[in-house]
Amino acid sequence: MPLRFYQTEPHQALVKLEGNFDSDTAPEIRKSLIKIVKNKGSESLKIDFSEVPNLGTAGVAVLVEVLRAMTRKGGALELVGLNDNARQMIRLARLGEIFQT
């Protein structure tokens, strides 16, 4: 699962995901994302979903973990480029407000 990390600004990081984010790929993405949150002192993390065709519940659960880690550090998490499927998945988990989709 390709995952690209950009430090766009001093306090702003962007992660671009490519490929499905489901129960098969979630373990690796989780590892990378948690590492990014831990190592970088970024105050805000942006995750780009424009290259993610499919978001599964496992992906949503990982996002919840990342969000929790970010809030603990006082940072913010923003999801951009969500397609319809991903949006529906997040809404079905009743997390639409939390992720502002």
Partner 1 sequence: MSSHNMIEIRGLDSHYKGRQVLFNIGFAIPHKKVTVIMGRSGCGKTTLLRHLIGLKPSESGRVFVEGQDMGSFDEKGMANYRRRIGVLFQSGALFNSLTVSQNIAVPLKVHTRLSDETIRIMSLIKLHLVGLADFLDYMPSQLSGGMRKRAGLARALAMDPEILFVDEPSSGLDPITAAGLDDLILELRETLGMTIIVVTHELESAVKIADQMVVMDRGNLLAVGTPDEIRSSQDETVLRFLRREAEEQQVNTESYLSRLLGRQYKAGENSTRRQGGVR
26 binds partner 1 (CB under 8 A): yes
Binding map of partner 1 across residues 33-72, x = CB under 8 A, - = no contact: -----------------------xxx-xxx-xx-------
Residues 58 and 89: beta-carbon distance below 8 Å: no
Hey, what's the torsion of the CAs at 63, 32, 52, 65, to 10 degrees? -10
Residue 69: closest CA among 101, 32, 21, 18:
32
Within 10 angstroms of residue 50's Cβ, the number of other Cβ atoms is 11
State which of residues 12, 20, 83, 88 lies at the interface with partner 1 (CB under 8 A): 88
Stretch of residues binding partner 1 (CB under 8 A), selected from 6-14, 23-31, 42-50, 73-81: 23-31
23 binds partner 1 (CB under 8 A): yes
Residues 43 and 9: beta-carbon distance below 8 Å: no
1 binds partner 1 (CB under 8 A): no
Least separation, in Å, of the C-beta of 1 and partner 1? 13
